[in-house]
Homo-oligomer: A and B are copies of this chain.
Amino acid sequence: MIFNKIVIVGIGLIGSSLARVIMKNKLAGKLWAYDNNPNYLAGAKELGIVDEVSSNLATAVKEADLVVYATPVGAYGEITRQIAPYLKKGAIITDVGSIKKYAIDEIEKNLPEGADIIVVPGHPVAGTEKSGPANGFDTLFEGRWYIVTPCKYSTQEAVDKVSALWAAAKMKVDSMSPEHHDKVMAAVSHLPHLIAFSIVGTVSDLEGYEKQEIIKYSASGFRDFTRIAGSDPTMWRDVFLNNKDTILELIQRFVEDLIALERNIRWGEGDKLFDLFSRTQKIRKEVIEAKQEQPEHEKRLLAEINRLEK
């Protein structure tokens, strides 16, 4: 047991997966869930992945040692305003948001002046494109990275306790500044997701194509993009709007490179295409090699794909 009472606010894919880990490993004396979606709450109760559910935030967070925000980051401000008066002294707020600078701002600016509340912002870098408590599973986090991004309301003791929770979910723990986190994630996660959303929109909108034919032959490349573009709309809207500057810059860079590539094709510059594709092939090898040092990654990936494709 790491905490006496944990409350998960938002019992979707990530929240419900964490709930399963906490229950399985008995990491909390009591585990509560809150969600503004009554179906999610009922689902969590029915699945038996929490001890108690409440549709009242004040009731849910009462006497909690740890409150985990597992909602889209756009909701953090409102949640903080609502729970702050009911939190006990020394309670820890943590979160799972994909962007950290905005997440921290929203929490900090809505905590009352001088409140004895500790904040440990973090990001378990894991997920699938599915949503809701029924789609969570307790091995979601295995072998993946948990990135903790301490802020001015953090204490080392709280950072360690929260990190221990994720380590119990078999995550590898890393620490960095919120700014650095957002910059790295913009490149490895936000831009790829944006491009996937965009291309799936483009291809399915093409006039002169039969949609059924696009779906029928989707396995030849398009399908891989639909998987990524099947991710939660609210979550990703919040990510793009609130890590805006970095993302806009990366889109510009991407378009610049794509236009150059378009020009190579137009002018038949095969050697330049070949050079780029050889370079990307090398990067693929590096990604594979990096994974080979982490065999647990492999198993998790397969289990996840297995689930995804069910």
Contact = CB atoms under 8 A, between A and B. Distances in A.
A284 B203 contact: no
B216 A145 contact: yes
Interface string A210-241: 00011111111111111111111110111011
Given A240-B273, A268-B241, A280-B200, A145 B188 contact: no
Contacts of A241: 265, 268, 270, 273
Interface stretch (A42-50, A89-97, A109-117, A245-253): A245-253
A299 to B, nearest CB: 10
Interface stretch (A8-16, A79-87, A151-159, A301-309): A301-309
Contact of A222 (B187, B227, B306): B187
A69 interface: no
Which of A237, A244, A290 has the largest number of chain B CB atoms within 10 A? A237
Contacts of A276: 197, 201
Contacts of A144: 219
Contacts of A278: 233
A78 interface: no
B229 A185 contact: no
Contacts of A298: 309-310
Prevailing SS type, chain A contact patch: helix
A268 B262 CA distance: 29
Contacts of A244: 265-266, 268
Given A200-B283, A229-B280, A255-B255, A237 B274 contact: yes
Interface in A121-151: 125, 129, 144-145
A204 B200 CA distance: 23
Which of A188, A253, A309 has the largest number of chain B CB atoms within 10 A? A188
A94 to B, nearest CB: 19
Contact of A279 (B204, B224, B283): B204
Given A281-B233, A309-B301, A309-B302, A184 B199 contact: no
A92 B265 CA distance: 33
B218 A277 contact: no
Interface string A257-288: 11101100110101001101111110111110
B220 A125 contact: yes
Q: Which 3 A-B pairs have the closest CB atoms?
A: A230-B284, A233-B277, A192-B221
Given A144-B219, A234-B274, 9 more contacts: A192-B224, A197-B261, A200-B283, A219-B301, A229-B281, A230-B285, A233-B278, A244-B268, A302-B305
29 contacts: A184-B213, A187-B203, A187-B222, A188-B203, A197-B276, A197-B277, A198-B261, A200-B280, A201-B257, A201-B261, A202-B254, A218-B290, A221-B228, A223-B287, A224-B227, A226-B287, A229-B281, A229-B284, A230-B281, A233-B281, A241-B270, A244-B265, A248-B262, A248-B266, A254-B258, A255-B258, A255-B262, A291-B309, A302-B306
